[in-house]
């Protein structure tokens, strides 16, 4: 993590800009699922965004190291990521959108960071090392593979596997189906209403983010955390962080394991089971639909 902090922080701000564009143009979905980014075969993208003339999508291409903007009427713009500060990236993105005929206004200040420099004024974050960005993307690819497998085992309400640009985390969230106590908020430079909506129902959330370990970490937490949650035995290499209020499995511990997939799988299952058992979640619906006859 120490070797790519400057690139990480720059990408963090860039993804906030693109994520806010998606948020401004996409109809709201519960728990802020309409603001997220998604992994692609080239990097991170918005997926289809509705615009009056059709569809817009924006993608961070970590193969060619460009931002690519496309519209369904054939519009296409791109520019190199390297050499841009947050301010110049913001200006180039706005210019590309204007060229494509896309009008959008965003709250042009980052969220969930202690020091929130307006995008147009941020010349401090200006580092982009292509190989560091690609290495992070490959970590996300590896994490998504495991999170998709984990997601498939739950029959209740569960989020997509998606990337939240507020904290740079790839996440999947399971829900008990019950309303949760109001979240107290408190995230830096983020309205409390955001957390109230995101945590409106009981949940167990897991994912991966570039923190929590020397090389990043898998994480898992519950809201509200049931009594005794933090004392749940974990697989070797995982631990509970009192500071963060969640379980962590550092990526380096996974990488060095004799069975990396098995370790991540055991971590995800153990932390969810602790949340569900200690929180006395209702049993998920085990009904299996009848086979569909194709004629």
pLDDT digits (tens, 9 = 90+) for 105-140: 999 999 999 999 999 999 999 999 999 999 999 999
Among 36, 32, 26, 29, residue whose Cα is nearest residue 195: 32
pLDDT of 172 above 70: yes
pLDDT digits (tens, 9 = 90+) for 228-271: 999 999 999 999 999 999 999 999 999 999 999 999 999 999 99
Whether the full predicted model's pTM is greater than 0.85, yes or no, is yes
| 200: confidence class by pLDDT, cuts 50, 70, 90 | very high
The pLDDT of residue 285: 59
pLDDT of 294 above 50: no
57/148 Cα distance (integer angstroms): 23
DSSP 215: T
β-bridge pairing 54-61 and 66-71: antiparallel
Provide the Cα torsion 228, 230, 234, 240; round to 10°: -170
Instruction: Give the pLDDT mean for 98-106.
Output: 98
154/177 Cα distance (integer angstroms): 13
* Three-state DSSP state, 227: coil
Is residue 11 within 8 Å of residue 133, measured between CB atoms? yes
The pLDDT of residue 283: 83
112/123 Cα distance (integer angstroms): 19
Place of tokens 């292509």: 130
């Amino acid at each position: 993590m120490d070797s790519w902090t400057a690139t990480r922080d720059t990408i963090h701000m860039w993804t906030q800009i693109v994520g806010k564009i998606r948020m401004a143009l996409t109809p709201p979905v519960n728990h802020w699922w309409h603001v997220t980014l998604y992994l692609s075969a080239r990097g991170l993208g918005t997926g289809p965004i509705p615009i009056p003339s059709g569809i817009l999508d924006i993608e961070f291409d970590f193969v060619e190291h460009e931002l690519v903007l496309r519209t369904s009427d054939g519009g296409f713009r791109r520019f190199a990521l390297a050499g841009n500060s947050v301010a110049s990236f913001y200006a180039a993105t706005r210019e590309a959108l204007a060229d494509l005929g896309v009008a959008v206004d965003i709250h042009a200040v980052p969220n969930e960071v202690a020091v929130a420099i307006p995008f147009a004024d941020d010349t401090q974050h200006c580092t982009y090392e292509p190989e560091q960005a690609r290495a992070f993307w490959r970590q996300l690819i590896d994490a998504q593979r495991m999170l998709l497998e984990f997601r498939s085992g739950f029959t209740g309400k569960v989020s997509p596997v998606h990337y939240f640009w507020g904290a740079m985390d790839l996440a999947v969230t399971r829900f008990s189906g019950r309303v949760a106590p109001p979240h107290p908020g408190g995230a830096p430079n983020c309205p409390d209403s955001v957390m109230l909506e995101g945590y409106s129902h009981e949940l167990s959330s897991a994912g991966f983010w570039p923190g929590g370990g020397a090389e990043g970490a898998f994480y898992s937490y519950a809201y509200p955390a049931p009594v005794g949650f933090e004392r749940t035995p974990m697989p070797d290499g995982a631990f509970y962080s009192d500071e963060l209020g969640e379980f962590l499995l550092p990526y380096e511990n996974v990488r060095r394991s004799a069975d990396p997939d098995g370790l991540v799988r055991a971590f995800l299952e153990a932390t969810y089971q602790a949340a569900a058992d200690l929180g006395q979640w209702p049993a998920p619906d085990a009904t299996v639909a009848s086979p569909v006859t194709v004629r």
